[in-house]
Amino acid sequence: MPARFFRIFLRGAVALMLAGPLAAHASSQVVTVEPDRAATRVVSGTVIPFREVTLTAQSAGRVIEVAGAEGDRFEQGAVLVAISDDRLRAQRLAAQAEMRTAESAIREAQMQYGREMIAPQSRSLGQMPGMGVPSMFDQMFTQPMGQFMGFGDPALDRRTDLYSRYIGVDQAQARWEQARARVTELDAAIRDTRSEAPFDGLVMHKHVEAGDTVQPGQPLVSFGHVEFLRVEAQVPVRLVAGLQEDDYVHVRLDTGDAVEARVAQIFPLADPQRHTVTVKFDLPQGVRGGPGMHAAVHLPQGEVAGERVVIPRSALIPGGALPRVAVLDGEGSVRVRMVRLGGMRGDQVVVTSGLEAGMQILARPDAGVRSGQPVGRDTSGPRSLEADPWNRM
């Protein structure tokens, strides 16, 4: 009898040892693998002003004034940098003198033209000395005789003299207009020696100081409108397809602030070297920070997100060097699969490869789970073999 009871006890212990893990698996909750609809791709961006300009020197000269320092605010029209204009003003005085000379020449040419109209020199008796006798003889005898013989034309001479006087007036007028244009040009050059704020903003960077000598095209100051800020990012082309203007994306700044930014502008062309597109995002007004700060832009991955799935963090099999999950096959058994993780998101984990959306896995597998062990599916509900994603692999 004692031997018989011992054998019965031994068989029961072995059965409990073998059934223990299976019972645990049978009582485990079965969950369905869901696609990662919230999958995003993070790209780096830089905070920039809403508007920014770099004022440059338009003429050579010495800097005589630089208003304020970096960070100082100015209203539109305020003078930011002034360059010496002594040389330009001296040239303007010379051009004004040329204008006055040209005005005198115009009046003198007009008088000559008027005199020719009233008293033509071709009929003047005082052109020659000797009491006008040679001229009178010429008019009374020589010219009529020459005209009778076919030489000379008094009407043509008259028109020629009038035209010559008219040309003199026109040339004097052209010299005056040339001098006036020179004065206008110098006035514009003098105005350009004063670099004014094109809009309300602040000085972002000073490139020169008072006393420096500058040449045309040399940067003077960088001025920006920073009441509103933007983020500029280089976005891969495949991610731009999922963006439209006026969409909102999640942006995290170096200050720790997480905000929703509006897609303000998508450039129409891609960079041929990096294959990225420049995209600008409008930040909310009053956000902390300033231009030059780093920003992490979270962009939806679009079609790429369909390859990523999410599972509960508890679905990972405890222990082991590599992450694993217990997948149910079509016959109600467990298949242990290794997966690649993409990151944690609260109590969920992102799986980038190894699983497909629609598969069923154990929500809380034991560390000793093995492939091929049967599992009760009373918590999973009816399921056909044809609909099981395991059969498709």
Amino acid at 304: V
User: What's the rounded Cα separation, in Å, for the pair 380 and 367?
Assistant: 21
For residue 374, what is the DSSP state?
B
Half-sphere exposure for 30 (CA within 13 Å, toward CB): 20
pLDDT tens-digit readout, 165-188 = 778 788 888 889 999 999 999 999
Amino acid at 222: S
Q: Across the beta sheet with 194-196, what order do the strands follow?
A: 194-196, 79-83, 61-66, 213-214
How far CA 340 is from CA of 322, 354, 364, in Å, comes to 8, 6, 18
Beta strand extents in 97-165 (DSSP E only): none
Identify whether the C-beta of residue 236 lies closer than 8 Å to the C-beta of residue 214. no
User: What's the rounded Cα separation, in Å, for the pair 249 and 236?
Assistant: 15
Tokens of 310: 């999410």
User: What's the rounded Cα separation, in Å, for the pair 363 and 349?
Assistant: 12
Segment 223-231 mean pLDDT: 92
Does the pLDDT at position 380 exceed 50?
no
User: The dihedral of CA 305, 307, 310, 316: what is its sign?
Assistant: negative
pLDDT tens-digit readout, 294-350 = 999 998 875 544 567 889 989 999 987 889 999 998 777 888 999 988 777 778 888
Segment 85-90 mean pLDDT: 91
How far CA 83 is from CA of 15, 20, 62, 176, 233, in Å, comes to 98, 91, 5, 30, 37
Per-residue pLDDT, 21: 45
Per-residue pLDDT, 147: 54
User: What's the rounded Cα separation, in Å, for the pair 138 and 92?
Assistant: 53
Supply the mean pLDDT for the chain: 79
Rg of the chain, C-alpha, whole Å: 47
pLDDT category at 119 given cuts 50, 70, 90 is low
User: What's the rounded Cα separation, in Å, for the pair 81 and 58?
Assistant: 12
Segment 46-71 mean pLDDT: 92
Q: Which of 185-199, 255-269, 318-332 has the lowest mean pLDDT?
A: 318-332
Per-residue pLDDT, 109: 80
User: What's the rounded Cα separation, in Å, for the pair 112 and 122?
Assistant: 14
What H or E segment, with its residue span, contains residue 73? Answer: strand 73-74
More confident: 383 or 307: 307
Per-residue pLDDT, 321: 81
Segment 130-152 mean pLDDT: 53
Residues 60, 65, 66: CA angle, nearest 5 degrees: 100
User: What's the rounded Cα separation, in Å, for the pair 49 and 176?
Assistant: 48
DSSP string, 5-53: HHHHHHHHHHHHHHHHHHHHHHHSPEEE-EE-TT-EEEEEEEEEEEEEE
User: What's the rounded Cα separation, in Å, for the pair 331 and 391?
Assistant: 10
Tokens of 107: 């009046």
Identify whether the C-beta of residue 81 lies closer than 8 Å to the C-beta of residue 137. no
More confident: 370 or 232: 232
User: What's the rounded Cα separation, in Å, for the pair 215 and 58?
Assistant: 8
**Percentage of the chain exceeding pLDDT 70:** 76
Question: How far is residue 312 CA from its own chain's centroid?
Answer: 41
Does the pLDDT at position 54 exceed 80?
yes
pLDDT tens-digit readout, 95-111 = 999 999 888 888 888 88
Does the pLDDT at position 236 exceed 70?
yes
More confident: 63 or 27: 63
Identify whether the C-beta of residue 349 lies closer than 8 Å to the C-beta of residue 310. yes
Is this prediction's pTM over 0.75?
Answer: no
User: What's the rounded Cα separation, in Å, for the pair 46 and 363?
Assistant: 42
Q: Which of 18-22, 74-78, 260-264 has the lowest mean pLDDT?
A: 18-22
pLDDT category at 386 given cuts 50, 70, 90 is very low
Does the pLDDT at position 384 exceed 60?
no
More confident: 299 or 380: 299
Does the pLDDT at position 17 exceed 60?
no
Does the pLDDT at position 38 exceed 90?
no
